Amino acid sequence: MAPHLRRTWAPRGQTPVLTQRGRSRRKVSVIAALTVSPRRKQVRSHFGFLPDANYDGEAILAFVKALARTVRAPIELVWDRLQAHHRGPVGAWLGRHRRVHAHLLPGYAPELNPVELIWGYAKMNPLANFAPTELRDLLKRTQQTARAIAHNQPLLRSFIKHGQLSLRLK
């Protein structure tokens, strides 16, 4: 639960101290999706959280199923090339559900992925220098950050506009 360090300010001679617990391997894994309405007037974010676990094929599939229940329109998933995104249970499910189509980004192209901008924003702004001592505190702050992002339409739109995909917003 080491913090993402960012520069800070303190009066001369008063070095800021960031207290943290010893090396803890506890974490919260987060998955996210951005959806653009068919009329391109609104961007929505969708998040999933797994404390002390990784997103494997089954967990990703649960997220995609929840997304498909929430979004009634056809879904175009744009993913990086993590194998769990398009193989195993996710690939099998996508093969049976024609309303959800997956598109893979080129090899290593985080600049094309708008969700990568969410992670950069969250780590450098609301979560910067946050050093929780308990996993529940990390989970709570991460969920609060996700809610704040979800309610900030200009920020969500900026992720779509600055991700270098050819998505146009009205």
CA geometry: angle at 79 spanning 74 and 103, to 5°? 55
SS3 162: helix
Asked whether residue 32 is assigned to any structural domain, the reply reads no
- Token look-up 């979004």 returns 71
Q: Are residues 93 and 118 in the same domain?
A: no
Q: Give the domain range for residue 131.
A: 110-170
pLDDT the model gives residue 1:
47
Q: Are residues 83 and 63 in the same domain?
A: yes
Q: Please give the tally of structural domains in the chain.
A: 2
Would the pLDDT of 23 be above 70? no
Asked whether residue 26 is assigned to any structural domain, the reply reads no
pLDDT category at 170 given cuts 50, 70, 90 is low
Nearest to 89 by CA among 97, 99, 77: 97
User: In the chain, how many H helices and how many E strands?
Assistant: 5, 4
Of 56, 79, 104, the last residue of a domain is 104
Sort 12 into a burial class: Cβ within 10 Å, 0-12 / 13-18 / 19+.
Answer: exposed
Q: Are residues 68 and 93 in the same domain?
A: yes
Would the pLDDT of 137 be above 80? yes
Asked whether residue 13 is assigned to any structural domain, the reply reads no
Tokens of 53: 């676990």
Query: In the chain, what is the straight-line distance between the N-terminal and C-terminal CA atoms, in Å?
Result: 40
Across the range 132-141, mean pLDDT stands at: 93
Asked whether residue 116 is assigned to any structural domain, the reply reads yes
Percent of the chain whose predicted confidence (pLDDT) is above 70: 87
pLDDT the model gives residue 150:
96
Of 56, 88, 104, the last residue of a domain is 104
Report pLDDT digits (tens) over 151-160.
999 999 999 8
Tell how strand 75-79 and strand 43-51 pair up: unpaired
Q: Are residues 94 and 131 in the same domain?
A: no
CB atoms within 10 A of CB 151: 10
Tokens of 161: 């506009």
CB atoms within 10 A of CB 18: 11
Q: Are residues 145 and 160 in the same domain?
A: yes
Tokens of 44: 């929505």
Would the pLDDT of 142 be above 70? yes
Which region among 3-12, 76-85, 149-158 has the lowest average model confidence (pLDDT)?
3-12
Across the range 35-64, mean pLDDT stands at: 92
Asked whether residue 24 is assigned to any structural domain, the reply reads no
Across the range 3-24, mean pLDDT stands at: 71
Asked whether residue 10 is assigned to any structural domain, the reply reads no
- Token look-up 């068919």 returns 38
